[in-house]
């Protein structure tokens, strides 16, 4: 069968997303270019790999078989790349990092310092939510991920490197800002703006309230921490966010942290990779850097110094 790696890579992306448009976006190609690669691959294979039902596309049985092999070939290629990288050493390596959106406030500081110390290293950074970084690990599309605690059933190595306290924020003229040790039951009167369902912050918030038996009402759902903060400033409700996302707003007093009992929710960030992954020297160096240096680079607003609250 006369196929190219490029065709396989395009096929893998289309099969993963079941969408020519999303595959084209991911690969920075036009949609006709993606369709052309798939057509050529199907011709070379001599059998249809996709079928269209209504507006949706699906893999045929042959397509599912091909997907299995395309992923295996891709993983072998990535492994070959890692081995070659390790022969080049850390001086000219490439580092592919996936970062949960909440961690990105801090991760850019880490990456900046790491690249200052290792100026031959090229870094590629993918910022997405918890669900997204778990998918990156699943498809082996990154060296390391920085995120909240990953699920235990996955075959991953996860080492904690930083506290990630989640706090309740309000606009400065909210009725609760002057109150101390606000009972959790008070929050039942309030509306919360929340992150999207794939967000680690959202999952932690829901778990915390469920454990404490607190019913809360949700208003708007927004898919970024920045949008959440804007919504709280616009008095659309309260929200629960990582303290790391708040540096500027607290300084400018555009938002305030409420003093609620059992808060902050104490989470931690982890540096994560697949257990079987052969880390390149650059990835290994970055992992050690995160574990040993991140504390010195953290500039959490001062209320983190005397953390109390619930551990999740």
Closer to ligand PGA by Cβ: residue 78 or 101: 101
147 near ligand PGA (CB under 6 A): yes
Q: How far is the CB of 223 from ligand PGA (least distance, A)?
A: 9
Q: Say if residues 239 and 193 touch (Cβ distance below 8 Å).
A: yes
Residue 20 or 161: the one with the smaller Cβ distance to ligand PGA is 161
Q: Does 245 help bind ligand PGA (rule: CB under 6 A)?
A: no
Quick one: which segment of 177-185, 197-205, 212-220, 231-239 binds ligand PGA (CB under 6 A)? 197-205
- With binding defined as CB under 6 A, does residue 274 bind ligand PGA? no
Contacts of 90 (CB under 8 A, 6+ apart): 118, 120, 121, 281, 282, 285
Q: Is 101 in the site for ligand PGA (CB under 6 A)?
A: yes
Catalogue the long-range contacts made by 178-185 (C-beta closer than 8 Å, 24 or more residues apart).
179/258, 179/259, 180/259, 181/259, 181/260, 181/261, 182/258, 182/259, 182/260, 182/261, 183/261, 184/212, 184/214, 184/260, 184/261, 184/262, 185/214
With CB under 6 A as the contact rule, which of the stretches 32-40, 70-78, 83-91, 97-105 interacts with ligand PGA?
Answer: 97-105
The span of 18-26, 96-104, 105-113, 279-287 binding ligand PGA (CB under 6 A) equals 96-104
**Residues 113-142, interacting with ligand PGA (CB under 6 A):** 129-130
Binding piece for ligand PGA, criterion CB under 6 A, among 12-20, 95-103, 179-187, 280-288: 95-103
User: Using CA atoms, how far apart are residues 122 and 96, in angstroms rounded to an integer?
Assistant: 9
Q: Which CB atom, from 160 or from 172, has the smaller least distance to ligand PGA?
A: 160
| One of 12, 174, 195, 244 touching ligand PGA (CB under 6 A) | 195
**Which of 132, 121, 156 is CA-nearest to residue 286?**
121
Among 37, 201, 245, 280, binds ligand PGA (CB under 6 A): 201
- Closest separation in Å from C-beta 112 to ligand PGA: 20
Helix residue ranges, H only, 264-312: 281-297
Rg of the chain in Å (alpha carbons): 23
Asked if residues 130 and 205 have their Cβ atoms less than 8 Å apart, the reply is no
Residue placing its CB nearer to ligand PGA in the complex, 133 or 187: 133
Tokens 């999207």 label which residue? 196
Binding site for ligand PGA (CB under 6 A): 100-102, 129-130, 147-148, 195, 199-201
């Amino acid at each position: 069968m006369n196929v190219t790696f490029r065709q396989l890579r395009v096929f893998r992306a289309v099969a993963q997303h079941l969408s020519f448009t999303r595959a084209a976006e991911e690969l920075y190609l036009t949609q006709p270019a993606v369709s052309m690669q798939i057509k050529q691959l199907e011709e070379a294979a001599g059998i249809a790999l996709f079928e269209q039902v209504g507006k949706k596309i699906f893999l045929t049985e042959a397509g599912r078989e091909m997907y299995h092999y395309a992923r295996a070939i891709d993983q072998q290629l990535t492994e070959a790349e890692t081995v070659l990288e390790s022969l080049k050493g850390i001086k000219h390596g490439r580092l592919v990092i996936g970062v949960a959106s909440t961690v990105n406030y801090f991760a850019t500081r880490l990456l900046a310092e790491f690249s200052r110390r290792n100026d031959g290293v090229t870094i590629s950074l993918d910022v997405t939510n918890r669900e997204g970084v778990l998918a990156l690990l699943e498809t082996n599309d990154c060296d390391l991920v920085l995120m909240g605690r990953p699920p235990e059933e996955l075959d991953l190595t996860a080492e904690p490197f930083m506290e990630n306290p989640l706090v309740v924020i309000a606009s400065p003229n909210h009725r609760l800002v002057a109150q101390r040790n606000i009972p959790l039951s008070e929050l039942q009167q309030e509306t919360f703006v929340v992150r999207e369902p794939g967000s680690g912050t959202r999952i932690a918030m829901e778990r915390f309230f469920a454990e404490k038996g607190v019913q809360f009402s949700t208003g708007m759902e927004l898919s970024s921490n920045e949008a959440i903060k804007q919504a709280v400033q616009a008095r659309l409700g309260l929200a629960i966010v990582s303290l790391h996302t708040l540096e500027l707003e607290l300084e400018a007093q555009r938002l305030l942290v409420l003093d609620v009992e059992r808060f902050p929710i104490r989470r931690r960030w982890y540096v994560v990779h697949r257990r079987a992954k052969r880390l390149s020297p650059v990835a290994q160096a970055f992992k050690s850097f995160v574990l040993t240096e991140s504390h010195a680079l953290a500039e959490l607003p001062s209320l983190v110094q005397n953390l109390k609250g619930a551990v999740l």
